[in-house]
Amino acid sequence: MEKLLEVRGLRTHFHTDRGLFRAVDGIDFSVGRGRTVGLVGESGCGKSVTSLSVMGLVASPPGQVEADAILFEGRNILGLSADERRRLRGGKMSMIFQEPMTSLNPVHTIGQQIVEAILAHTQLSPQAAKARAIEMLELVRIPSAKQRVDDYPHLLSGGMRQRVMIAMALSCEPALLIADEPTTALDVTIQAQILDLLQDLQRRLGMAMLIITHDLGVIAEIADEVVVMYAGKIVESAPVDALFADPQHPYTIGLLGSIPRIEVDRERLSTIEGSVPSPNNQPKGCRFAPRCPFADTRCHAEPPPLRDLGPEHRVACWKAPVELARAA
């Protein structure tokens, strides 16, 4: 599989009054051309900071982004100038931000905002750019696109605003789309429509996607591969079918156990006791050890490496695979 995006040893730290916050602390992952990778974890695990680091959108100061390499189409983008990074961002690499209700500028029409993105990354004239904007609104299934192109964001529902964000991100036909919580704040019916739309557009345009979410239902629906993050580290990565069928890290098992299911016996949902450790006060050993029911002395003393368990299945756990399977 050809790797479109490859991240090696990404570390993103923030200097604050309370010390050094290690939001992302040495992670490796890749996104294949035309593939969908889901980046999963609870709030505060470093998912969004990872995406902003890849896009070059972490403010410095206070943020500091370091990596062995961030390769896009084989080119290390960390070595690019600010202008080259800006041309790449929005052109070949686009992002849908987390909150559709606040991501659009309220004083400009949606058409103006899409046209601005097109003009920044193509050689189209303003007239051609507006025609392209209308075409994109039609592509994301906004009705009466020729009339709605002159609407202001406050005239649109949350689901329609999210479609506008998708239209803007795809207006320059990127090779990679990063979607940060694309269905947050939307009701269930609209969530399903947005996921269906993203999959349809991916098939049409042949782009790769990095989907960032805490919702494993979204991952099951749309992803080819899953990367599970906890406290700034990757704890497990696998093809989506393998992860759901045979999770190996206790954190992944806990996440899957917390998914509501229609059961005859109506058992209570399982919970993961405790909370994510502070980024400036991480445990010495495994970062999940204080919350892990399987943890022993070694888990509290030594951080486990991310190691191979099977074809494309990697896990950072001293107990995997035999002990976890026996304990389950």
User: Whose CA is closest to 164, among 176, 152, 178, 177?
Assistant: 152
- pLDDT value at position 235? 96
Query: CA gyration radius for the chain?
Result: 21
User: Whose CA is closest to 183, among 195, 172, 174, 171?
Assistant: 195
What span, in angstroms and rounded, lies between the C-alpha atoms of 194 and 166? 9
Beta-bridge partners for 168: none
Domains along the sequence of the chain with CATH: 3-223 (3.40.50.300), 233-327 (no CATH)
Token representation of residue 321: 């695979």
Distances (CA, A) of 93 to 18, 271, 279, 286, 294: 34, 37, 28, 34, 41
- pLDDT value at position 218? 86
CB contact at 8 A, 64 and 70: no
Beta-bridge partners for 76: 71
pLDDT mean by block of 10 residues, the chain; 328 residues: 92 88 93 95 90 91 92 91 87 84 88 92 92 92 92 90 90 91 79 86 90 89 94 95 92 84 61 81 91 92 92 91 54
What is this structure's pTM? Answer: 0.89
